[in-house]
Amino acid sequence: MDLAALGGLALAILMVVGAIVVEAGGDFGQLAAYLPTQGPIAGAWMLVVGGTLAASIVTAPLSGVIALPKAILRTLMPGSHETAADLAALFVRLSEKARREGLLSLEEEEGAIHDEFMRKGMQQVVDGTDPEVIRQILEIDIQEMVRRHSVAQAFLTQAGGFAPTFGIIGTVSSLIAVLAHLDPAAGQEALAASISAAFIATFLGLATANLIFLPLAEKMKENTAHEVALRNMMIENILAVQSGDNPRLVFEKLEGFLAPSERAAARARAEGGGGQAAAA
């Protein structure tokens, strides 16, 4: 579970709700005015949320639309993944084993490799595939991953652009209806209430765009960038293991992908996990 993403979204929504309550003088009942419990407000929700999703669907392939809920769930709850420190220890150990027992011995380590991308690369190494061919195969894999991820990212980015516009459309259409049925005998309070309800659509458009669609799109982009960096790191070290590099050199290549604050812990982990690898 990505606590940063979930916590950030929850905090942003809480701040907006809190601001509404504060503006209303502490009256929580004011929140009911934003809920789709009344005809005009329900229409605003229908126009903004439904219209935004419908327009965004036009811009995306059907397969991407179907996969969107899964992509959002994976963004908020990515599950456990091997860290760079985990990979450092594993690559150092594989490098030591390859130098000591040969590349074919790495086939025994398949069970220790949980990442499918890394397993694919190491299998190519065991099969004796040319290094340049291995690089091409794995880089194509990365490119396709980025392309697949970009569909959901583009959908949410488009939705973030459409939502405020549909909010304005909803407000304008509501104001037209208010003015078309204006009853001077109803008094200023009724007119003010009608105009207030009309602006709910604008609020919904801005809120959904900036609290949901755009933050999720940016989070997906950040996750993809992190995964690309991790996979590029794997490529360099898969080829280093294949070429028989010294385990210390293998770790130093890994170290370049780590933040300075992570390097000492990763080095200790690699030296402990690799046995004599760091000293080879």
Cβ distance 253 to 240 under 8 Å? yes
Least confident window among 152-156, 180-184, 211-215, 230-234: 180-184
- Torsion sign, CA atoms 180, 184, 186, 191: positive
Please count the CA atoms within 13 angstroms of the CA of 196 that sit on its side-chain side. Answer: 9
Question: What pLDDT shows up at residue 124?
Answer: 93
Domain spans of the chain, in order of start: 1-34, 36-280
User: How buried is residue 47: exposed, middle or buried, by Cβ count under 10 Å (0-12/13-18/19+)?
Assistant: buried
With tokens 């061919």, the residue in question is 133
Q: What is the pLDDT confidence band of residue 42, given thresholds at 50, 70 and 90?
A: confident
Q: Check: CB of residue 32 under 8 Å from CB of residue 41.
A: no
Q: What is the mean pLDDT of the segment spanning 40-48?
A: 86
Residue 2 CA to residue 20 CA, distance in Å, equals: 28
Q: What band does 239 get if pLDDT is binned at 50, 70 and 90?
A: very high
- List the structure tokens of 234: 């794997």
pTM of the prediction?
0.81
Residue 273: pLDDT band (50, 70, 90) is low
Question: Tell me: the pLDDT tens digits for 53-83?
Answer: 999 999 999 998 999 999 999 888 876 777 7
**Taking all residues of the chain, what is their mean pLDDT, rounded to a whole number?**
85
Rg from Cα positions in the chain = 27
Residue 274 has pLDDT above 70, yes or no: no
Backbone angles phi, psi at 182, to 5 degrees: -65, 125
pLDDT at residue 279 greater than cutoff 50: no
For 81, 93, 199, 256, 268, the CA distances from 272, given in Å and listed in that order, are 20, 10, 62, 20, 6
Query: What is the predicted pLDDT for the residue at 188?
Result: 67
Chain centroid to CA 123: 29
Amino acid at position 114, single letter: H
pLDDT tier, 20 (very low <50, low <70, confident <90, very high otherwise): confident
- Per residue in 214-227, pLDDT (tens digit) is 999 999 999 999 89
CA distance 156 to 152: 6
Note whether 201 and 170 are within 8 A (CB).
Answer: yes
Reference 94, options 117, 116, 118; nearest CA is 118
Among 113, 68, 107, which residue's Cα sits nearest to residue 86? 113
Token pair, residue 181, equals: 């049925």
Name which of 21-30, 61-70, 98-107, 143-152 the model is least confident about.
Answer: 21-30
